Structure 1
Amino acid sequence: MRILPVVRQILQMTPSPLPVPPLRGLYLITPDEPDTERLLDRVRAVLGHAALLQYRNKTADAALRHRQMAALLPLCRAAGVPLIANDYADLAIAIGADGVHLGEDDGDPAAVRARLGANAIIGVSCYDDLALARAAAAAGASYIAFGAFFPSSTKPNARRASLDLLRDSAELRLPRVAIGGITPDNARGLVASGADLLAVISGVFDAPDPPAAARAYRAAFESTAPEFPT
């Protein structure tokens, strides 16, 4: 019987999870792009500048989300960039992604950790609430996210966060993500206040020159050392 060679071939074709890298730098979030090939082209142009890529498409149905995220996975593996699913733990498991980002209504981080495993990257939105960040840390989150720090076209009615949240949450010793209206001009203040990752959608993908925009965000980290080793 030739079952074992066939199984071995299938396993070799399946991209394996990446080791969790230091979480610091540009955190790219995909735009709501219905054309999968165009999405791949847009991501491919800037992926080399990212520390993480989050797949997010609020306008897609389940089939399109699965198809797009599965198509992004080989790109991320080749670039050495972890791929995170927005909200959907089932999708992350189905395609073998590196983790999931959870909003306040997307499930308990501890339960999701039990499903995805000890090495999964699990991020939690904490909005403007330090208590949520403490609870996320206790539940095993890999990083905590605060925002919106500035007005955002993606979520114009989002709660507003203060720089004090970045400073005060240093006690949790988790990477901190800043999101919401971030531009290359205001990015350095966030990094100086403790942001380890800058989450960006339109600031890169809708820029006239997306690779140049991605480089500009990365530059915010060049003269600012992390507050603690990640």
Structure 2
Amino acid sequence: MNSSWPRRGLYAITPDEADTARLLARTASVLDAGAAWLQYRNKPADAALRRDQALALLPLCRAHGVPLIVNDDWRLAAQIGADGAHLGEDDGELAAARAALGSGAILGASCYDDIALARAAAAGGASYVAFGAFFPSPTKPNARRAAPELLAQAAPLGLPRVAIGGITPDNARSLVRAGADLVAVISGVFDAPDPAAAVRAYLSCFEDPAHE
């Protein structure tokens, strides 16, 4: 993982947005407000739209000094020169993604509620491990639930730990205190009345995690 990328903060994940111009406008405000990383995710989109949107997001991320990580599809990440990819358990082998993307790419792995998956991901070349859902999530209402203790258990891996799933500014601080380096959010930012203010609220949770 490129050592110049931040290892703590808000990991913003794009919503399912069919209008590329609107996606760019919505994302720009989130990046302006200080999101550390951006993951491009659009589950309903076809391959052509995903490629177009990811390509459109790339210069926006470059302008903000924020890495662009492509959800699920390391091949698309490689094709467009994105900074990395995030893989779930059904999205292919980490080793193949690492070989294609190179040693400097950010390669994330969903580890759900399972520390064994995190250990395997670390051994397979992951740059970070992601656990969740920690709270009920509107994006994945039936997602497996993870315990905050997993974040501490993953500390010996020496990789950034990402928390995801139903995270709000009100509950994020407890996860940061438990060991989360980044909190990954979709609806909590993009569906907020003021996304930029929401970003700042999440970032405040990293300022003094020792206190609620």
- What is residue 135 of structure 1 aligned with on the other side? 120
- What is residue 153 of structure 2 aligned with on the other side? 168
Matches of 1:200 and 1:164, distance apart in 2: 20
**Offset of 1:110 from its aligned partner?**
1.5
- What is residue 18 of structure 2 aligned with on the other side? 34
Matches of 1:23 and 1:68, distance apart in 2: 25
- What is residue 43 of structure 1 aligned with on the other side? 27
**Offset of 1:24 from its aligned partner?**
0.8
- Higher percent of residues as helix: 1
- What is residue 211 of structure 1 aligned with on the other side? 196
Alignment deviations for residues 70-119 of structure 1 (CA, whole Å, 9 cap, x no partner): 00000000000000000111110111100000000111111210110000
Identity %: 72
- What is residue 52 of structure 1 aligned with on the other side? 37
Asked whether 1:108 is paired with 2:106, we answer no
Which secondary structure state, in structure 1, belongs to the residue aligned with residue 171 of structure 2? helix
Kept in 2, the 8 Å contact 1:20–1:121? The answer is no
Which secondary structure state, in structure 2, belongs to the residue aligned with residue 208 of structure 1? coil
One-letter identity of the residue aligned with 2:157: L
**Offset of 1:19 from its aligned partner?**
6.3
Distance 1:149 1:141, change over 3 A: same
**Offset of 1:20 from its aligned partner?**
4.3
- What is residue 75 of structure 2 aligned with on the other side? 90
- What is residue 138 of structure 2 aligned with on the other side? 153
Kept in 2, the 8 Å contact 1:20–1:119? The answer is no
Matches of 2:116 and 2:3, distance apart in 1: 29
- Give 1 or 2 for the bigger CA radius of gyration: 1
Matches of 1:81 and 1:41, distance apart in 2: 16
Of 175, 180, 186, the residue aligned with 1:190 is 175
Alignment deviations for residues 155-208 of structure 1 (CA, whole Å, 9 cap, x no partner): 000000001101111111110000000000000000000000000000000001
Which secondary structure state, in structure 1, belongs to the residue aligned with residue 162 of structure 2? strand
Asked whether 1:64 is paired with 2:64, we answer no
Matches of 1:98 and 1:74, distance apart in 2: 12
Worse-superposed segment, 120-129 or 21-30: 21-30
- What is residue 108 of structure 2 aligned with on the other side? 123
Matches of 1:64 and 1:161, distance apart in 2: 32
One-letter identity of the residue aligned with 2:25: D
TM-score, normalised on structure 2?
A: 0.96
Matches of 2:171 and 2:182, distance apart in 1: 14
Matches of 1:164 and 1:68, distance apart in 2: 36
Q: CA RMSD in A?
A: 1.1
One-letter identity of the residue aligned with 2:89: E
Q: Which runs of 5+ in 1 are unaligned?
A: 1-17, 226-230
Matches of 1:153 and 1:22, distance apart in 2: 27
Kept in 1, the 8 Å contact 2:174–2:209? The answer is no
**Offset of 1:22 from its aligned partner?**
2.9
One-letter identity of the residue aligned with 1:136: A
Alignment deviations for residues 100-140 of structure 1 (CA, whole Å, 9 cap, x no partner): 00000111111210110000000000000000000000111
One-letter identity of the residue aligned with 1:33: E
